[in-house]
């Protein structure tokens, strides 16, 4: 057995397991991993979590920053501060997202972020832009947008040194389909987003290998009964996982319900799309070269007023899903932990509470307010303190 200092026993909580909810369950952590606890005495000292939930650590596929720090332009120290900010809100695994920029800058940035991936601070890099539609650019600089030339897509993949995890593309643009195929061949997620594609063009991109819808409903044509656009194609195809920003600003609850009804809990991934202000507060920020004002927790471009990412943290997304949307807790855990872990190819290590996996977990009270966070067996927030 590990040294006593490396042993933690959590008892009494409602634990969400892949097999369902276990009331009054006991979890054993030894070192950085969950164990079956078979050799741990039944009377070993335990943290009493009666009246609480224990769920897997959250996994964020799409996150631009937090704590006042930008993952696109911040220093290493700033990026680490942003990562820690999200850990304090339950996100134990995070993919760092960039925004549209000059290609040389993005390639250089990918090299810097890849070092953090090698250290285990982030789970990889997501490039959102520059290969997106000027018609659906959102908070991206139109002057820096470009068609998805496979050679330039490959440049970003190579710059990530094996840590490029996802690229968001408007696949209807010239080179889009070939770029999707290139990404699929290199094991990088091709995500359809910031797109003006038709239904038929979206189907073509899925057939070419696209597997994710970047923040479904946002930055794409709305559903129309004669020209349905990308939304129904993305919802109906079992090969697609749809990202949802559940902050009450990006989506009406009926839209979220529609996505869960058509895609099912197994094909939804809750994301934050967070920018610098997440966990930091209102004020004026920059998203790439664009100025953003955050007021009452909503981020909008100073020029034009487009929504500019979010200030969301995943504990808020969880609580909203449970209390406003009234989703089953098991479905929320799928969307916020298991599904993104599977997409990243990390489900053997994270995304569920099973022996042998990383001891990444979140403790919530009966109102789904975060009370504790553990990452790799160490308390980030100790539920016994405070």
The three-state DSSP-derived secondary structure of the chain is CCCHHHEEEEEEEEEEECCEEEEEEEEEEECCEEECCCCCCCCCCCEECCCCEEEECEEEEEECEECCEECCCCCHHHHHHHHHHHHCCCEEEEEEEECCCCHHHHHHHHHHHHHHHHCCCCCCEEEECCCCCHHHCCCCCHHHCCCCCHHHHHHHHHHCCCCEEEEEECCCCCCHHHHHHHHHHCCCEEEECCCCCCHHHHHHHHHHCCCEECCCCCCCCCCCCCCCCHHHHHHHCCCCEEEEECCCCCCCHHHHHHHHHHHCHHHEEEECCECCCCCCCCEEEEECCEEEEEECCEEEECCCCCECCECCCHHHHHHHHHHCCCCCHHHHHHHHHHHHHHHCCCCCCCCCCCCCCECCEEEECCCCCEEEEEECCEEEECCCCC
| Rounded Cα distance, 70 and 75, in Å | 8
pLDDT at 195: 98
pLDDT at 197: 98
The answer to whether 159 and 108 are in contact (CB under 8 A) is: yes
Angle between helices 150-159 and 176-185 (to 10 degrees): 30
Task: Tell how strand 241-245 and strand 69-70 pair up.
Answer: unpaired
The answer to whether 64 and 309 are in contact (CB under 8 A) is: yes
pLDDT at 1: 41
pLDDT at 4: 57
| Rounded Cα distance, 63 and 161, in Å | 20
Could you tell me the pTM of the whole model? 0.96
Is 273 an annotated catalytic residue? Answer: yes
**Percentage of residues of the chain with pLDDT beyond 90:** 91
pLDDT at 41: 85
| Rounded Cα distance, 41 and 48, in Å | 16
b/e string for 127-138 if b means 16 or more Cβ within 10 A? bbbbbbbeebbb
Residues 6+ apart with CB under 8 A from 286: 70, 73, 276, 292
Catalytic residue among 196, 273, 315, 325: 273
Task: Return averaged pLDDT per consecutive 10 residues of the chain, 386 residues in all.
Answer: 72 97 95 92 90 98 97 96 98 97 96 98 98 93 96 98 98 98 98 98 98 98 95 98 96 96 97 95 88 92 89 98 97 98 98 98 98 98 82
| Rounded Cα distance, 151 and 247, in Å | 36
Residue 58 corresponds to which tokens in the numbers above?
């959250």
């Amino acid at each position: 057995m590990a040294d006593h200092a490396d042993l933690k026993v959590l008892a009494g909580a409602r634990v969400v397991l892949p097999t369902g909810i276990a009331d009054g369950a006991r979890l054993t952590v030894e070192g950085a991993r969950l164990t079956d606890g078979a050799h741990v005495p039944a009377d070993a000292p335990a943290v009493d979590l009666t009246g609480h939930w224990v769920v897997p650590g959250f996994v964020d596929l799409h996150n631009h920053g937090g704590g006042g720090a930008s993952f696109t332009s911040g220093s290493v120290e700033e990026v680490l501060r942003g990562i820690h900010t999200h850990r304090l809100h339950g996100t134990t695994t995070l993919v760092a997202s960039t925004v549209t920029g000059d290609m040389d800058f993005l390639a250089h940035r990918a090299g810097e972020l890849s070092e953090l991936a090698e250290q285990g601070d982030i789970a990889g890099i997501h490039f959102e832009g520059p290969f997106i539609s000027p018609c659906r650019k959102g908070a991206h600089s139109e002057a820096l947008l470009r068609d998805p030339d496979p050679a330039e897509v490959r440049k970003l993949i190579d710059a990530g040194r094996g840590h490029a995890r996802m690229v968001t593309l408007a696949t209807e643009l010239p080179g889009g389909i070939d770029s999707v195929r290139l990404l699929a061949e290199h094991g990088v997620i091709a995500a359809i987003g910031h797109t003006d594609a038709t239904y038929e063009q979206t189907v073509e991109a899925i057939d070419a290998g696209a597997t994710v819808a970047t923040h479904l409903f946002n930055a794409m044509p709305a559903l129309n009964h004669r020209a349905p656009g990308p939304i129904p194609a993305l919802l109906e195809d079992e090969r697609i996982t749809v990202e949802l920003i559940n902050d009450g600003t990006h989506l009406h609850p009926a839209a979220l319900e529609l996505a869960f009804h058509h895609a099912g809990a197994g094909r939804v991934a809750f994301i934050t799309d967070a920018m610098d202000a997440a966990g930091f507060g209102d004020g004026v920020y920059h998203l790439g070269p664009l100025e953003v004002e955050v007021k009452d927790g909503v981020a909008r471009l100073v020029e034009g007023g487009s929504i500019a990412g979010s200030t969301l943290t995943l504990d808020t997304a969880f609580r909203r899903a449970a209390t406003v949307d009234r989703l089953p807790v098991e479905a929320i855990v799928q969307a916020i932990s298991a599904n993104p872990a599977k997409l990243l190819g990390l489900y053997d290590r994270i995304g569920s509470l099973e022996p042998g996996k990383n001891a990444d977990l979140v403790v919530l009270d009966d109102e789904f307010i975060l009370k504790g966070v553990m990452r790799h067996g160490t308390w980030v927030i100790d539920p016994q303190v405070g």
